[in-house]
Amino acid sequence: MVMPWALEMTLARPNVKNIVLVEGVRTPFLLSGTTYSDLMPHDLARAALQGLLHRTAIPKDVVDYIIYGTVIQEVKTSNVAREAALGAGFSDKIPSHTVTMACISSNQAMTSAVGLIAAGQCDAVVAGGVEFMSDVPIRHSRKMRKTMLSLNKAKTLGQRLSLLGSIRLAHLSPELPAVAEFSTSETMGHSADRLAAAFGVSRVEQDEFALRSHSLAKKAQDAGLLQDVISFKVPGRDIVSQDNGIRPSSMEQMAKLKPAFIKPHGTVTAANSSFLTDGASAVLIMSEEKALAMGYKPKAYLRDFVYVSQDPKDQLLLGPTYGTPKVLERAGLTMSDIDVFEFHEAFAGQIMANLKAMDSDWFAQTYMGRKSKVGTPPMDKFNLWGGSLSLGHPFGATGCRLVTTVAHRLQKEGGQYGLVAACAAGGQVSDTHPGGVFWLIVLLKNK
């Protein structure tokens, strides 16, 4: 099928189906420990799926596959995709699986969906992500677990008693989910602070960026631009229909905070980092043919993506700088062709460091083997409706929010191309990382 507009041809690849984003929704993103605190992860995921069903009115048996991303797994619902899908009323004939790839878990869910459609396996796939930080699995210590497991196998009362007798006070201290990168034992915040220092990002610059994020998010929320948010009647609680982490403050207020990770001279604080968040998201991805046949009006094409990874110690959060030029080159575009940028904001310092890296010829030549700098995205196209710093960052769910936001902004702002960058950076306190850094960039063409 030949497309009528010429530019489209340059991005469409021969023998690959056009793949489109039909719809994207998310639950309100709430600070951990607030209204969602008594739920379980699959409850949130189910709410997002029901929201998607409601928005699209897609028949429950048309979907071919469901994929969910999550980071901190609830052990009772390790395949949270399946539990949520069944609960949301999807046909039990639809296979589902769960993926994990740190903070880009739902990006991985989406690109897996794209892969399934491109390979001709499926025509309609639901992808999403969920993170629930109000409750995380805290384990018994290894010694205690070992004793308890041996206890199961103990045959006689004597054996059981002697095992019980072997329990010491130290056995009882619990094991919290890793707060650090497994390979380097460094927390994400610590890494971000070092990165900011390496690029000479000042505290003031970080606070200003955080303030910008909150102010823009507030404006977008007030203007009703965050259409991807669905209302959710929380069991036993009220209906929630707004993110609750958006808090525009003042530079003076922010300046009062002490550094959160590197004391006393660090620059990353609670105010310029993303906060621990509960939330879920979901998108419907289809082949263009199928979407049009079903009478949908797709929001955007999902054109291309690339994953990159770097040294987990010193370049953990530098993915955007490496990934952006790569995906642009693949698509034959330049920075100036992009109308809408959505970058995941793990830390203000991390965003600012990346912007400085992208603006540095020295960095490009020394570490990237390029002749000249990547170039920075213009700020008047950058995260105009807030970002993870203000809207919140449920690790597994952020990717879908970014992609949906790009689609909505392209529609609203009338642009042609959008670019998403999401790095596997953790939240404020607790996250587990597979090591390395992964970047996903999706190019969207306004439909």
Partner 1 sequence: MQEPLQQPRAFTKTGTHVNYEVKGDVAVVRINDPNSKVNTLSIQMQKELTDVMNEVWSNNAVQSAVLISTKPGCFIAGADINMIEGCKTAEEVTQLSQEGQNIFEKIEKSPKPIVAAINGSCLGAGLEFVIACQYRIATKSKKTVLGTPEVMLGLLPGAGGTQRLPKMVGLPSAFDMMLTGRNIRADKAKKMGLVHQLVDTLGPGLKSPEERTIEYLEEIAIECARGIVNKKIPLSKEKGMMQKLQDYIMSFEMVRNQIYKTVHGKVMKQSKGLYPAPLKIIECVKAGIEQGPIPGYLAESQNFGQLAKTTESHALIGLYHGQVTCKKNRFGAPQKEVKTLAILGAGLMGAGIAQVTVDKGVHTILKDTTVSGLARGEQQVFKGFNDKTKKRNITSFERDSILSNLTGQLDYSGFEKADMVIEAVFEDINIKHKVLKEIEAVIPPHCIFASNTSALPIKEIAAASKRPDKVIGMHYFSPVDKMQLLEIITTEQTSKDTTASAVAVGLKQGKVIIVVGDGPGFYTTRCLAPMLAEAVRVLQEGVDPKKLDALTTGFGFPVGAATLADEVGLDVAAHVAEDLGKAFGSRFGGGNVEVLKTMVDMGFKGRKSGKGCYVYQPGLKVRDVNPDIEEILEKYKMTPNPAVSSDSDVQYRLVSRFVNEAVLCLQEGILSSPVEGDIGAVFGLGFPPCLGGPFRFVDAFGADKLVEKMRRYEEVYGNQFTPCQLLLDHANDSSKKFHK
Residues assigned a catalytic role: 103, 393, 423
**Residue 50 contacts residue 296 (beta carbons within 8 Å):** no
Element (H, E) at 283: strand 277-287
**Whose Cβ is closer to partner 1: residue 275's or residue 363's?**
363
For partner 1, the binding residue among 185, 231, 242, 250 (CB under 8 A) is 185
Gap between the Cα atoms of 104 and 401, Å rounded: 11
For partner 1, the binding residue among 356, 401, 409, 433 (CB under 8 A) is 356
In angstroms, what is the minimal distance from the CB of 360 to partner 1?
Answer: 5
431: contact with partner 1 by CB under 8 A: no
C-alpha 370 chain-centroid distance: 29
**Whose Cβ is closer to partner 1: residue 245's or residue 319's?**
319
Interaction residues for partner 1, span 62-121 (CB under 8 A): none
In angstroms, what is the minimal distance from the CB of 374 to partner 1?
Answer: 14
For partner 1, the binding residue among 155, 362, 369, 372 (CB under 8 A) is 362
**Whose Cβ is closer to partner 1: residue 168's or residue 313's?**
313
Distances (CA, A) of 233 to 33, 149, 335: 17, 40, 42
Phi and psi based region of residue 160 (left: phi greater than 0; alpha: psi -120 to 50; beta: remaining): alpha
Q: How many CB atoms lie within 10 A of CB 38?
A: 12
Residue showing tokens 């109000």: 134
Gap between the Cα atoms of 226 and 292, Å rounded: 25
190: contact with partner 1 by CB under 8 A: yes
For partner 1, the binding residue among 88, 352, 353, 437 (CB under 8 A) is 353
For partner 1, the binding residue among 183, 227, 411, 416 (CB under 8 A) is 183
In angstroms, what is the minimal distance from the CB of 356 to partner 1?
Answer: 6
193: contact with partner 1 by CB under 8 A: yes
Gap between the Cα atoms of 443 and 338, Å rounded: 9
Q: How many CB atoms lie within 10 A of CB 264?
A: 6
367: contact with partner 1 by CB under 8 A: yes
Q: Which long-range contacts (CB under 8 A, 24 or more apart) does 308-314 make?
A: 308/437, 308/438, 308/439, 309/436, 309/437, 309/438, 309/439, 310/436, 310/437, 312/181, 312/183, 312/184, 312/433, 312/435, 312/436, 312/437, 313/183, 313/184, 313/186, 313/191, 314/194, 314/195, 314/198
Cα atoms in the 13 Å half-sphere on the side-chain side of 353: 26
The piece of 5-13, 198-206, 283-291, 338-346 that touches partner 1 (CB under 8 A) is 198-206
In angstroms, what is the minimal distance from the CB of 197 to partner 1?
Answer: 5
The piece of 53-61, 194-202, 278-286, 289-297 that touches partner 1 (CB under 8 A) is 194-202
**Site mask, partner 1, residues 303-342, x = CB under 8 A?**
--------x-xxx--x------------------------
The piece of 62-70, 75-83, 183-191, 329-337 that touches partner 1 (CB under 8 A) is 183-191
Q: Residues for the chain: how many in total? A: 447
182: contact with partner 1 by CB under 8 A: yes
**Site mask, partner 1, residues 245-284, x = CB under 8 A?**
-----------------x-xx-------------------
In angstroms, what is the minimal distance from the CB of 324 to partner 1?
Answer: 17
In angstroms, what is the minimal distance from the CB of 309 to partner 1?
Answer: 15
Gap between the Cα atoms of 258 and 190, Å rounded: 14
Gap between the Cα atoms of 12 and 362, Å rounded: 34
Burial of 141 per CB tally in 10 Å (0-12, 13-18, 19+): middle
Q: Alpha-carbon Rg of the chain, whole angstroms?
A: 22
In angstroms, what is the minimal distance from the CB of 347 to partner 1?
Answer: 15
Which residues would be at the binding site for partner 1 (CB under 8 A)?
Answer: 182-185, 190, 193-195, 197-200, 202, 262, 264-265, 311, 313-315, 318, 353, 356-357, 360, 362-363, 366-367
